[in-house]
Amino acid sequence: MNKMINICKRIVGGDFVNESNKYPFMATIWYLDGEEFKFKSGAIYIGKRYFLTAAHCLKNREIIRMLVRMGDTSLRRLPMTFRVKKAFTHPNFNGKNLQNDIAIIEVDKDVKAEPIRIPCDHLKDNCYNLGHKVKVLGFGKDCAASSQDHLLDLKEVDLRIVPIEESKYHRSLITNDMFLAGNTINGKTVDACTGDSGGPCIKMIRQNWVLVGVVSWGSGCGNKNLPGVYTKVLSYHNWIRNICKFGGCGNH
Ligand code: 4AZ
């Protein structure tokens, strides 16, 4: 029994997403727990029958007990449900230090939704500039001490890409295939949290949303100088394109 008191006023900070089709690529992973499927983490629709998520979200999970669900901003009504045909965890994923925390999920039928673009080399100069604005989406907790493990409604929050030197993380923990993003809004440190992992960190580039990161880990949630850590999607675009057989750049 979790006796922690819920001291959260209201992802940590940010706003609820009110428009149901604002982020049509936002997806979720559910897992059979006893008799019922329960929400576990975020996922991102990237085209054809493929989704991205964090590798740690699939650890010790059987694909026959997993669903991918999407299509609205409330977990109470997600009209599209898919079974998982195959999961591809990155071959160099390390569950201890969360290096290469990325996985691809292939579902069992066609997906009628607009995918997000994944970055490729011609965008590399735009994706990870320090100080640039990005956004993270998720159903995760609104503070580390929350007694609920997730929210029922999708939230979004604006973050900025933060240099490692501005954080308290030991350099050796943050590889070149990760980046940090955080922000302070009205004096409050905003962040991703438990339940947001596997979900998208996106950036508007030339009027399109581009998937720059996957929510991976962090030391607590909303702690000053300990921003969220994201898997750098650009580092994996060749791996993704090979598995998904996307032609051209990114998934287009
Ligand atoms: C988690 O447990 C988690 N503050 C995700 C993101 C962050 C921390 C923890 C970032 O899935």
**How much is the pLDDT for 250?**
67
CB-ligand 1 contact for 251 (6 Å cutoff): no
User: Which residue, by CA, sits nearest to atom 4 of ligand 1?
Assistant: 221
CB 160 within 8 A of CB 134: yes
Query: Is 216 a catalytic site residue?
Result: no
Contacts of 78 (CB under 8 A, 6+ apart): 28, 69, 70, 71, 72
pTM of the model: 0.95
Distance (angstroms) between ligand 1 centre and the Cα of 18 equals 24
Report the pLDDT value the prediction gives residue 124, as an integer from 0 to 100.
79
Q: Is 170 a catalytic residue?
A: no
Residue 95 has pLDDT above 80, yes or no: yes
Higher-scoring residue by pLDDT: 135, 126: 135
- Known active-site residue 252: no
Name the residue with higher pLDDT: 251 or 199.
Answer: 199
Q: Largest Cα–Cα distance in the chain? A: 52
Q: How confident is the model at residue 3 (pLDDT cuts 50, 70, 90)?
A: very low
Residue 1, pLDDT above cutoff 60: no
Can you tell me the mean pLDDT for 155-163?
98
- Give the three-class secondary structure for 184: strand
Find the mean pLDDT for residues 41-60. 98
What per-residue confidence (pLDDT) applies to 105? 98
Quick one: pLDDT at residue 252? 59
Q: Is 194 in the pocket of ligand 1 (CB under 6 A)?
A: yes
pLDDT at 35 over 60: yes
Q: Does ligand 1 have an atom closer than 6 angstroms to the CB of 197?
A: yes
Mean pLDDT of 172-184: 97
Amino acid at residue number 137: L
Domains and CATH numbers, the chain: 6-16+118-233 (2.40.10.10), 26-115+237-244 (2.40.10.10)
State the pLDDT confidence band at 248, using cuts at 50, 70 and 90.
confident
71 ligand 1 Cβ < 6 A? no
Amino acid at 52: L
pLDDT level of residue 8 (50, 70, 90 thresholds): low
Spacing, Cα 192 to ligand 1 middle (Å): 6
> Does ligand 1 have an atom closer than 6 angstroms to the CB of 228?
yes
Residue 17 neighbours by CB distance under 10 Å: 18
The one catalytic residue among 72, 101, 142, 191: 101
Indicate whether residue 181 lines ligand 1 (CB < 6 A): no
The protein residue with its alpha carbon nearest to ligand 1, atom 1, reads: 194
Which residue, among 52, 88, 103, has the nearest Cα to 211 in the 3D structure? 52
